Amino acid sequence: MTERAVPFHCPYCGDEDLRPHGDRHGEWECRSCLRAFSLKMLGLVRPQSSALGVPR
């Protein structure tokens, strides 16, 4: 993740008061609900042809 790839909302309470947490990249804490969590980019997925309306 780059510096600009940050979460905008807490996945638990939805608040926006997030700050970096810990020493590892991707760790965040929510100052509203006092939870700490981590995010990890798994990769990109290819859309299925049926989702695009293209017959198989």
- Total domains present in the chain: 1
Tell me the Ramachandran region of residue 36: left when phi exceeds 0, alpha when psi lies from -120 to 50, beta otherwise: beta
In a domain, 47, yes or no: no
pLDDT at 9: 95
In a domain, 6, yes or no: yes
- Domain with 19 in it: 1-40
9 and 16 Cβ atoms separated by less than 8 Å? yes
pLDDT at 52: 57
In a domain, 29, yes or no: yes
Contacts of 34 (CB under 8 A, 6+ apart): none
In a domain, 56, yes or no: no
In a domain, 24, yes or no: yes
In a domain, 48, yes or no: no
Which parts of the chain have pLDDT scores under 70? 1-5, 49-56
